[in-house]
Structure 1
Amino acid sequence: MADTLGERINGLLRDVPDFPEPGIGFKDISPLLADARAFDEVVDGLAGVARLGDAEIDLVAGVEARGFLIAGALACRLGAGLVPVRKAGKLPPPTLTRSYDLEYGSAEIEVPSGVLDGRRVLLVDDVLATGGTLRAAAELVGQAGGTVTALAVIVELGFLGGRDALNGLAPLHSLLTL
Protein backbone atom coordinates (compact mmCIF):
# COMPACT_ATOMS: atom_id res chain seq x y z
CA MET A 1 0.00 0.00 0.00
CA ALA A 2 1.32 3.45 -0.91
CA ASP A 3 2.39 5.69 1.97
CA THR A 4 1.89 9.09 0.38
CA LEU A 5 -0.65 10.59 -1.98
CA GLY A 6 2.04 10.93 -4.65
CA GLU A 7 2.89 7.23 -4.35
CA ARG A 8 -0.82 6.31 -4.55
CA ILE A 9 -1.23 8.45 -7.66
CA ASN A 10 1.88 6.98 -9.28
CA GLY A 11 0.70 3.45 -8.55
CA LEU A 12 -2.61 4.13 -10.29
CA LEU A 13 -1.27 5.75 -13.47
CA ARG A 14 -1.31 3.73 -16.66
CA ASP A 15 1.32 4.38 -19.33
CA VAL A 16 -0.03 4.22 -22.88
CA PRO A 17 2.69 4.22 -25.55
CA ASP A 18 2.20 5.90 -28.92
CA PHE A 19 -0.99 7.74 -27.94
CA PRO A 20 -2.42 9.97 -29.28
CA GLU A 21 0.42 9.97 -31.81
CA PRO A 22 3.40 7.65 -32.44
CA GLY A 23 6.24 8.55 -30.10
CA ILE A 24 4.02 10.16 -27.43
CA GLY A 25 3.77 8.45 -24.03
CA PHE A 26 0.33 9.15 -22.53
CA LYS A 27 -0.26 9.13 -18.75
CA ASP A 28 -3.76 7.73 -18.24
CA ILE A 29 -5.49 8.66 -14.98
CA SER A 30 -8.53 6.42 -15.60
CA PRO A 31 -7.45 3.84 -12.96
CA LEU A 32 -7.04 6.70 -10.46
CA LEU A 33 -10.52 8.06 -11.22
CA ALA A 34 -11.96 4.55 -10.79
CA ASP A 35 -10.49 4.22 -7.29
CA ALA A 36 -12.97 6.07 -5.04
CA ARG A 37 -10.56 6.51 -2.14
CA ALA A 38 -7.68 7.74 -4.29
CA PHE A 39 -9.94 10.10 -6.25
CA ASP A 40 -11.27 11.55 -2.98
CA GLU A 41 -7.70 12.04 -1.73
CA VAL A 42 -6.75 13.78 -4.98
CA VAL A 43 -9.71 16.13 -4.69
CA ASP A 44 -8.73 16.86 -1.07
CA GLY A 45 -5.14 17.50 -2.13
CA LEU A 46 -6.21 19.91 -4.84
CA ALA A 47 -8.67 21.61 -2.48
CA GLY A 48 -5.70 22.31 -0.23
CA VAL A 49 -4.13 24.24 -3.11
CA ALA A 50 -7.17 26.50 -3.27
CA ARG A 51 -6.84 27.26 0.42
CA LEU A 52 -3.18 28.34 0.21
CA GLY A 53 -2.45 32.01 0.68
CA ASP A 54 -5.13 34.65 0.98
CA ALA A 55 -6.79 34.19 -2.41
CA GLU A 56 -10.38 33.06 -2.37
CA ILE A 57 -11.72 31.04 -5.28
CA ASP A 58 -14.95 31.92 -7.06
CA LEU A 59 -14.65 29.40 -9.88
CA VAL A 60 -12.78 26.24 -10.76
CA ALA A 61 -11.94 26.00 -14.45
CA GLY A 62 -11.22 22.54 -15.82
CA VAL A 63 -9.40 21.87 -19.07
CA GLU A 64 -11.05 19.39 -21.46
CA ALA A 65 -11.54 16.58 -20.93
CA ARG A 66 -10.12 14.92 -17.84
CA GLY A 67 -9.77 18.33 -16.21
CA PHE A 68 -13.58 18.57 -16.26
CA LEU A 69 -13.89 15.53 -14.02
CA ILE A 70 -11.45 16.91 -11.50
CA ALA A 71 -12.84 20.45 -11.64
CA GLY A 72 -16.42 19.33 -11.06
CA ALA A 73 -15.56 17.39 -7.92
CA LEU A 74 -13.23 20.14 -6.73
CA ALA A 75 -15.79 22.91 -7.27
CA CYS A 76 -18.32 20.98 -5.19
CA ARG A 77 -15.75 20.44 -2.42
CA LEU A 78 -14.85 24.16 -2.39
CA GLY A 79 -18.37 25.55 -2.77
CA ALA A 80 -17.26 27.26 -5.97
CA GLY A 81 -18.70 27.52 -9.46
CA LEU A 82 -17.40 25.59 -12.45
CA VAL A 83 -16.28 26.75 -15.89
CA PRO A 84 -15.29 24.38 -18.70
CA VAL A 85 -12.30 25.14 -20.90
CA ARG A 86 -13.32 23.28 -24.04
CA LYS A 87 -12.02 22.41 -27.45
CA ALA A 88 -13.12 25.01 -30.00
CA GLY A 89 -16.61 24.51 -31.39
CA LYS A 90 -17.97 22.60 -28.38
CA LEU A 91 -19.55 25.48 -26.42
CA PRO A 92 -22.57 27.51 -27.54
CA PRO A 93 -21.77 31.09 -28.54
CA PRO A 94 -20.68 33.58 -27.49
CA THR A 95 -17.22 32.28 -26.62
CA LEU A 96 -13.64 33.46 -26.54
CA THR A 97 -11.06 31.28 -28.33
CA ARG A 98 -7.29 30.85 -28.15
CA SER A 99 -4.88 28.81 -30.30
CA TYR A 100 -1.86 27.01 -28.87
CA ASP A 101 0.79 24.43 -29.77
CA LEU A 102 0.91 20.85 -28.54
CA GLU A 103 3.82 18.41 -28.55
CA TYR A 104 2.30 16.93 -31.72
CA GLY A 105 0.44 19.79 -33.45
CA SER A 106 -1.79 22.71 -32.59
CA ALA A 107 -5.27 23.16 -31.16
CA GLU A 108 -7.81 25.76 -30.05
CA ILE A 109 -9.69 26.06 -26.77
CA GLU A 110 -12.55 28.29 -25.70
CA VAL A 111 -14.49 29.50 -22.69
CA PRO A 112 -17.99 30.91 -22.42
CA SER A 113 -18.11 34.68 -22.74
CA GLY A 114 -19.39 36.73 -19.80
CA VAL A 115 -18.99 34.23 -16.94
CA LEU A 116 -15.41 34.94 -15.88
CA ASP A 117 -15.55 38.74 -15.51
CA GLY A 118 -14.01 39.75 -12.20
CA ARG A 119 -13.90 36.17 -10.90
CA ARG A 120 -11.00 34.48 -9.09
CA VAL A 121 -10.21 31.18 -10.77
CA LEU A 122 -8.40 27.99 -9.82
CA LEU A 123 -7.36 26.39 -13.12
CA VAL A 124 -6.98 22.59 -13.05
CA ASP A 125 -5.96 19.80 -15.38
CA ASP A 126 -4.89 16.20 -14.99
CA VAL A 127 -1.35 16.22 -16.41
CA LEU A 128 1.13 19.01 -17.09
CA ALA A 129 3.41 18.10 -20.00
CA THR A 130 4.96 20.95 -22.01
CA GLY A 131 2.63 23.58 -20.56
CA GLY A 132 1.07 24.74 -23.83
CA THR A 133 -2.50 23.80 -22.98
CA LEU A 134 -2.44 25.14 -19.42
CA ARG A 135 -0.74 28.38 -20.50
CA ALA A 136 -3.33 28.93 -23.24
CA ALA A 137 -6.14 28.20 -20.77
CA ALA A 138 -4.74 30.66 -18.21
CA GLU A 139 -4.32 33.35 -20.85
CA LEU A 140 -7.84 32.70 -22.10
CA VAL A 141 -9.27 33.03 -18.58
CA GLY A 142 -7.48 36.39 -18.33
CA GLN A 143 -8.75 37.47 -21.75
CA ALA A 144 -12.28 36.62 -20.56
CA GLY A 145 -11.89 38.91 -17.52
CA GLY A 146 -11.00 36.34 -14.85
CA THR A 147 -7.93 36.18 -12.63
CA VAL A 148 -6.14 32.85 -12.31
CA THR A 149 -5.08 32.69 -8.67
CA ALA A 150 -3.48 29.24 -8.90
CA LEU A 151 -2.80 26.40 -11.32
CA ALA A 152 -3.14 22.80 -10.14
CA VAL A 153 -2.47 19.43 -11.74
CA ILE A 154 -2.46 15.87 -10.50
CA VAL A 155 0.73 14.89 -12.35
CA GLU A 156 3.56 17.06 -13.63
CA LEU A 157 5.95 15.53 -16.16
CA GLY A 158 8.92 17.56 -14.95
CA PHE A 159 11.28 16.28 -17.64
CA LEU A 160 9.18 18.07 -20.30
CA GLY A 161 9.68 21.54 -18.76
CA GLY A 162 6.04 22.60 -18.64
CA ARG A 163 6.54 24.49 -15.38
CA ASP A 164 8.91 26.88 -17.17
CA ALA A 165 6.25 27.63 -19.78
CA LEU A 166 3.91 28.75 -16.98
CA ASN A 167 6.28 31.13 -15.19
CA GLY A 168 4.66 34.40 -14.25
CA LEU A 169 1.04 33.23 -14.66
CA ALA A 170 0.12 32.04 -11.15
CA PRO A 171 1.54 29.62 -8.59
CA LEU A 172 1.62 26.05 -9.92
CA HIS A 173 0.88 23.09 -7.65
CA SER A 174 1.23 19.44 -8.61
CA LEU A 175 0.41 16.43 -6.45
CA LEU A 176 3.08 14.27 -8.16
CA THR A 177 6.10 15.21 -10.25
CA LEU A 178 7.70 12.58 -12.46
Structure 2
Amino acid sequence: MADTFDDVLDRFRRAAKGFEHHLRAVPPDGWGAPTPCPEWDVRQLANHMTRGNLNYVGLLRGATRDEFLAQRDADALGDDPVTAFSASAEACAAAFAGSGALDRVVDYPMGALTGRRALAVRTADSVVHTWDLARALGAGDRLDADLVAWVDDGYEDIFAGLAVDRFFADPPAGAPPASRQDRLLTRFGRDPR
Protein backbone atom coordinates (compact mmCIF):
# COMPACT_ATOMS: atom_id res chain seq x y z
CA MET A 1 0.00 0.00 0.00
CA ALA A 2 1.36 3.43 -0.94
CA ASP A 3 2.12 5.99 1.75
CA THR A 4 -0.12 9.09 1.76
CA PHE A 5 2.91 11.30 1.31
CA ASP A 6 4.44 9.45 -1.65
CA ASP A 7 4.68 11.70 -4.70
CA VAL A 8 3.44 14.72 -2.73
CA LEU A 9 5.60 17.10 -4.77
CA ASP A 10 4.12 15.84 -8.05
CA ARG A 11 0.63 16.08 -6.56
CA PHE A 12 1.28 19.67 -5.50
CA ARG A 13 2.40 20.54 -9.03
CA ARG A 14 -0.75 18.99 -10.51
CA ALA A 15 -2.99 20.79 -8.03
CA ALA A 16 -1.27 24.11 -8.78
CA LYS A 17 -1.72 23.56 -12.52
CA GLY A 18 -5.43 22.91 -11.98
CA PHE A 19 -5.81 26.20 -10.12
CA GLU A 20 -3.76 28.06 -12.73
CA HIS A 21 -5.93 26.62 -15.51
CA HIS A 22 -8.99 28.35 -14.06
CA LEU A 23 -7.06 31.47 -13.09
CA ARG A 24 -6.11 31.98 -16.74
CA ALA A 25 -9.83 32.04 -17.58
CA VAL A 26 -10.74 34.93 -15.25
CA PRO A 27 -12.19 37.68 -17.45
CA PRO A 28 -11.00 41.27 -16.90
CA ASP A 29 -14.21 42.10 -15.03
CA GLY A 30 -14.22 38.82 -13.07
CA TRP A 31 -11.71 39.57 -10.32
CA GLY A 32 -14.37 40.94 -7.99
CA ALA A 33 -16.75 38.01 -8.43
CA PRO A 34 -17.80 36.24 -5.22
CA THR A 35 -16.45 32.78 -4.41
CA PRO A 36 -17.82 29.98 -2.20
CA CYS A 37 -15.45 31.38 0.47
CA PRO A 38 -17.65 34.19 1.80
CA GLU A 39 -14.72 36.37 2.85
CA TRP A 40 -13.01 36.31 -0.56
CA ASP A 41 -13.72 37.45 -4.09
CA VAL A 42 -11.77 35.92 -6.98
CA ARG A 43 -8.80 38.27 -6.57
CA GLN A 44 -8.62 37.62 -2.82
CA LEU A 45 -8.78 33.86 -3.41
CA ALA A 46 -6.00 34.12 -6.01
CA ASN A 47 -3.97 36.18 -3.55
CA HIS A 48 -4.57 33.61 -0.80
CA MET A 49 -3.21 30.90 -3.06
CA THR A 50 -0.25 32.95 -4.29
CA ARG A 51 0.66 34.30 -0.86
CA GLY A 52 0.23 30.81 0.57
CA ASN A 53 2.77 29.36 -1.85
CA LEU A 54 5.24 32.08 -0.93
CA ASN A 55 4.58 31.63 2.79
CA TYR A 56 5.32 27.91 2.51
CA VAL A 57 8.66 28.79 0.94
CA GLY A 58 9.22 31.09 3.91
CA LEU A 59 8.49 28.26 6.35
CA LEU A 60 11.19 26.15 4.73
CA ARG A 61 13.59 29.07 5.14
CA GLY A 62 12.84 29.31 8.87
CA ALA A 63 9.86 31.68 9.07
CA THR A 64 7.71 31.27 12.15
CA ARG A 65 3.96 30.66 12.30
CA ASP A 66 3.52 34.28 13.43
CA GLU A 67 5.43 35.54 10.39
CA PHE A 68 3.37 33.21 8.18
CA LEU A 69 0.10 34.58 9.57
CA ALA A 70 1.28 38.21 9.46
CA GLN A 71 1.88 37.85 5.70
CA ARG A 72 -1.25 35.82 4.98
CA ASP A 73 -3.24 38.65 3.40
CA ALA A 74 -0.39 40.80 2.03
CA ASP A 75 -0.78 41.45 -1.69
CA ALA A 76 1.25 39.01 -3.76
CA LEU A 77 -0.53 39.55 -7.11
CA GLY A 78 0.50 43.01 -8.23
CA ASP A 79 -0.73 43.88 -11.71
CA ASP A 80 -0.45 40.36 -13.15
CA PRO A 81 -2.21 37.79 -10.95
CA VAL A 82 -1.71 34.84 -13.31
CA THR A 83 2.05 35.37 -13.62
CA ALA A 84 2.33 35.99 -9.88
CA PHE A 85 0.51 32.76 -9.06
CA SER A 86 2.49 30.73 -11.59
CA ALA A 87 5.80 32.07 -10.25
CA SER A 88 4.74 31.36 -6.65
CA ALA A 89 3.78 27.77 -7.49
CA GLU A 90 7.12 27.23 -9.23
CA ALA A 91 8.99 28.75 -6.28
CA CYS A 92 7.09 26.55 -3.84
CA ALA A 93 7.75 23.39 -5.86
CA ALA A 94 11.43 24.27 -6.21
CA ALA A 95 11.78 24.93 -2.47
CA PHE A 96 10.18 21.60 -1.53
CA ALA A 97 12.30 19.78 -4.12
CA GLY A 98 15.43 21.00 -2.31
CA SER A 99 17.66 18.59 -0.46
CA GLY A 100 16.09 17.61 2.86
CA ALA A 101 13.11 19.95 2.47
CA LEU A 102 10.47 17.25 2.81
CA ASP A 103 11.98 16.05 6.10
CA ARG A 104 12.61 19.50 7.60
CA VAL A 105 10.27 20.43 10.45
CA VAL A 106 8.50 23.76 9.88
CA ASP A 107 6.63 26.03 12.29
CA TYR A 108 3.26 25.71 10.55
CA PRO A 109 0.34 27.77 11.97
CA MET A 110 -1.66 24.66 12.93
CA GLY A 111 1.36 22.95 14.52
CA ALA A 112 4.89 21.81 13.74
CA LEU A 113 4.99 19.62 10.64
CA THR A 114 7.53 18.00 8.40
CA GLY A 115 7.89 19.63 5.02
CA ARG A 116 6.24 16.55 3.54
CA ARG A 117 3.07 16.99 5.61
CA ALA A 118 3.05 20.76 5.14
CA LEU A 119 3.16 20.30 1.38
CA ALA A 120 0.35 17.75 1.62
CA VAL A 121 -1.75 20.32 3.50
CA ARG A 122 -0.89 22.89 0.81
CA THR A 123 -1.88 20.46 -1.91
CA ALA A 124 -5.22 19.62 -0.30
CA ASP A 125 -5.91 23.35 0.09
CA SER A 126 -5.05 23.87 -3.58
CA VAL A 127 -7.44 21.13 -4.70
CA VAL A 128 -10.37 22.57 -2.74
CA HIS A 129 -9.64 26.15 -3.79
CA THR A 130 -9.55 25.03 -7.42
CA TRP A 131 -13.18 24.07 -7.01
CA ASP A 132 -13.90 27.42 -5.34
CA LEU A 133 -12.39 29.28 -8.28
CA ALA A 134 -14.20 27.16 -10.86
CA ARG A 135 -17.50 27.77 -9.09
CA ALA A 136 -16.85 31.52 -8.92
CA LEU A 137 -16.26 31.58 -12.66
CA GLY A 138 -19.20 29.35 -13.54
CA ALA A 139 -16.71 26.97 -15.14
CA GLY A 140 -16.63 23.19 -15.11
CA ASP A 141 -15.87 22.28 -11.52
CA ARG A 142 -14.94 18.61 -11.93
CA LEU A 143 -11.64 18.18 -10.08
CA ASP A 144 -8.77 15.83 -10.89
CA ALA A 145 -10.21 12.50 -9.70
CA ASP A 146 -6.83 11.18 -8.59
CA LEU A 147 -6.20 14.25 -6.44
CA VAL A 148 -9.70 14.03 -4.95
CA ALA A 149 -9.14 10.37 -4.08
CA TRP A 150 -5.72 11.14 -2.61
CA VAL A 151 -7.01 13.95 -0.36
CA ASP A 152 -10.06 11.89 0.66
CA ASP A 153 -8.09 8.72 1.40
CA GLY A 154 -5.25 10.56 3.11
CA TYR A 155 -7.28 13.17 5.01
CA GLU A 156 -6.66 11.63 8.43
CA ASP A 157 -2.91 11.31 7.79
CA ILE A 158 -2.57 14.79 6.30
CA PHE A 159 -4.50 16.63 9.01
CA ALA A 160 -3.82 14.39 12.04
CA GLY A 161 -3.51 16.47 15.19
CA LEU A 162 -4.08 19.81 13.43
CA ALA A 163 -6.73 22.28 14.54
CA VAL A 164 -8.56 22.22 11.22
CA ASP A 165 -11.72 23.65 12.75
CA ARG A 166 -9.90 27.00 12.93
CA PHE A 167 -9.58 27.08 9.14
CA PHE A 168 -12.42 25.03 7.65
CA ALA A 169 -16.13 25.74 7.89
CA ASP A 170 -18.46 23.09 9.28
CA PRO A 171 -19.88 20.67 6.70
CA PRO A 172 -23.26 21.76 5.36
CA ALA A 173 -26.34 20.13 6.87
CA GLY A 174 -28.19 17.46 4.98
CA ALA A 175 -27.65 14.01 3.59
CA PRO A 176 -24.09 13.18 2.54
CA PRO A 177 -23.57 13.72 -1.18
CA ALA A 178 -23.24 10.72 -3.44
CA SER A 179 -20.06 11.52 -5.37
CA ARG A 180 -16.61 11.26 -3.85
CA GLN A 181 -15.74 14.79 -4.93
CA ASP A 182 -18.86 16.20 -3.32
CA ARG A 183 -18.25 14.24 -0.12
CA LEU A 184 -14.71 15.62 0.02
CA LEU A 185 -15.91 19.18 -0.56
CA THR A 186 -18.39 18.90 2.30
CA ARG A 187 -15.50 17.83 4.58
CA PHE A 188 -14.00 21.22 3.82
CA GLY A 189 -17.24 23.07 4.54
CA ARG A 190 -18.35 23.48 0.91
CA ASP A 191 -21.86 22.93 -0.37
CA PRO A 192 -21.48 21.39 -3.84
CA ARG A 193 -25.22 21.45 -4.60
Fold similarity call, TM over 0.5: no
Report which of the two has the higher share of helix. Answer: 2
The TM-score, its normalising length taken from structure 1, stands at 0.31
Report which of the two has the higher share of strand. Answer: 1
The TM-score, its normalising length taken from structure 2, stands at 0.29
Identify which of structures 1 and 2 has the higher relative contact order when contacts are C-alpha pairs closer than 8 Å and 6+ apart.
Answer: 2
